[in-house]
Amino acid sequence: MMMYNITNRTVLLVIDVQNEYFSENCNLYTPNAQKCKDNLVNLINKCKEKGIAVIYIQHLHKKDGSNVGRMGDFDPTAIFIENTEGAEILQSLPRNQEDTIIRKNRYSSFVGTNLHEHLQNKNIDTIIISGLMTNYCCLSTAFSASDLDYKTILVIDAVQGPDMPDLGYGELTQAQIKNTVATTLLGGVADVTTTEELIKQMS
């Protein structure tokens, strides 16, 4: 079993755990999202118990679409619109006033935000990644974190996303996506573990 050096220089990123994925009323509703909810709650609670900072990443777009970027070229569906139900962080997550919220409008949590500056000011050297979506914002953030020389850990059962339709190269289930993401990251970008393994080492 890989040993992880979880210290007070570690932070947990909870990426885009917003109503957009969890509410049937929202355009990006993803039934798979519920599969990671319990693990997210357990991971957040354990980090708080151990004094590890939790940062909630919130994806937001302006109503006029002016900050959507190239994402809108592939799908013009209105999602994560600020001041709407879909954009709100899932209320059932353990949150308090001490938790930092970083708002973004790109896949990576580092692009166009002050996340790196915030982590540097807190002397953070290790990032735990959780949330949605596995092969978009979570994967992009893991690459960015590695490029900025953070020790990076993806919690594979605390991330989720939809199955992917055939866009020209075949359909992909979320299980296949997770296998591909995990193998890619382990090949030179980040460590990959499960909620149970990580919590066990933090106990």
What span, in angstroms and rounded, lies between the C-alpha atoms of 51 and 99?
11
The token duo for 182 is 């995990």
Percent with pLDDT over 70 in the chain? 100
Positive or negative torsion for Cα 83, 89, 90, 91: negative
pLDDT of residue 196: 97
Q: What is the mean pLDDT of the chain?
A: 96
Domain ranges of the chain: 10-16+31-58+96-202
Q: What is the CATH number of domain 10-16+31-58+96-202?
A: 3.40.50.850
Does pLDDT of 1 surpass 70? Answer: no
Cβ-based neighbours of 146, under 8 Å, separated by 6 or more: 152, 189, 190
Question: What's the pLDDT tens digit per position in 109-130?
Answer: 999 999 999 999 999 999 999 9
DSSP string computed for 43-57: HHHHHHHTT-EEEEE
